[in-house]
A and B are shown apart, each in its own frame.
Chain A
Amino acid sequence: MNADSRTRLLLTALVALILTVLPLPRWLDVVRPAFLVLTVLYWSVNAPRAGGLAIGFFAGLMLDVFQGPVLGEHALALSLVTYIAVREHQRIRSKPAIQQALIVFPALMLYELVLFMIDGWSGHPVTSPLRWVHTVSGALIWPPAAAILGYGAGHRA
């Protein structure tokens, strides 16, 4: 059961990573949700034992390799969000998907805020408001994404 959800987790994280780095046209790229962050959040909430902080940290590290100006930036932001999700997982997962989306939205905002601050601190400031768009699209896509990730799963620990 644990091993099963772990393979599911790694598989979905890989798919999410591919979706994250897939080249897309510009307008789609702006609204592209942070798939990997959503996936990590989903597993932190629904299978905190299988996932948890290690997954958050290493997923963030992968994001750093693909798109981080400084190594460790996404790792820090994602471990922070993962930590909160793991700590509050019981409270979050008892809610219906729509309400979960309302919780995911500030989590994504926090994630982006950490990135934003580190960007500024490390001398790569990107002040365009477009960088916040994905938090909205991420929250919107949460209910269907959660349904897909949890499809046919008995992972409710």
Chain B
Amino acid sequence: MPVEVILKTAFILLVVVGAFAPVITWVERKQSAVMQDRIGANRADVAGITVLGLLHPLADVIKLLTKEDVIPRGANRVLHTLAPVIAAVPAIIAYAIIPYGSTYTFGDHELSLVAADPDWGLLYIFAIGSIATYGTVIAGWASNNNWAHLGSLRASAQMISYEVTLGLSVTGCFMVFETLKLTDMATAQDTTFRIFGFVELLFGLSLPAWLERFPFTVPAWGIFLQPLGFLMFLTCIMAENKRPPFDIPEAESELIAGYFLEYSGMRFGLFFMSEFIEVVVIAGLVATIFLGGWSVPWVSQAAIVGTVEPVYGAGFANGLCLLIHFLTFLAKVVVMIWLQMLLRWSLPRFRYDQVMDLCWKIMLPLSIANIFATGLVMLWIRG
């Protein structure tokens, strides 16, 4: 059993930290280049081979590792050194509870594709997220620089505000799926519901026969059951990540670089990396809670295994199902990363007061209204 856990952890580290995060630094440059009609990152080469500019992340890492590591005069040495680690570690370990596949049986052995599966699943993410705040706050304070100090003040205010709304915006999903466990949430979405089924459920009317002839079904994904929750969750969690349009703590135009202004070399690299690792974590989370996780739309796990099993046997059926589910999950994660990059390059920055107004005056009342409405509808349907 420990071997399996170690393998899963190593797999996550390799895929998310080792492969995804560096590649999306390239994706960010390339996508912005395409959107702004530039050619983009294409200069880094080994013996004249550029591989579409994919060598840029490698060049970045070599550059960061060989740069001088400066600790400014008057800075708190211990906290200045510690801050990038506090920022990066939560981002990496948050991925532990996101399932990248269902549970598959191979003979007597049950293989579930998730590193850790506690009952209190999503609460773990919130706890980790609240610790991540310290990385940015301490970084700004320990640098002994007024711009950095302002940046970390803004960061603490912004992150603590959005944490509240983040929790409330996803409460609707807790209610609909009746669980906090991410694996159970994904399993609950591996089914479909009829679009007009609510007419029968809510009003007790029977549907006309011509409507019944068309199979109007939708995957039972969180985005269809909790559309408002999806929008608010995405907004809040992007605000937690502090990327544009929510880059108030960094604010290049007013605070130069905000909280990590006094960092150089690989210490800066850790802040930079943790931002991109968080992009992957956000994509995985949103895909799991709102886009059905590993589930293939309209085709449930039982259907895949049931179709393949009589022909090729149970082991092959489960293996094929595993592969299909993993690729489906990967595709959803890539779509969510693309969406985050798109938003980052198409929306202008918010002003500080606009970020706070959005959180406390719009999102908070809306999320509470969402919980109330969800409760009402569930009471109505389930009696």
Q: Do A and B bind?
A: no
**Residues of chain B at the chain A interface (Cβ within 8 Å):** none
Chain A residues in the interface with B (C-beta under 8 A): none
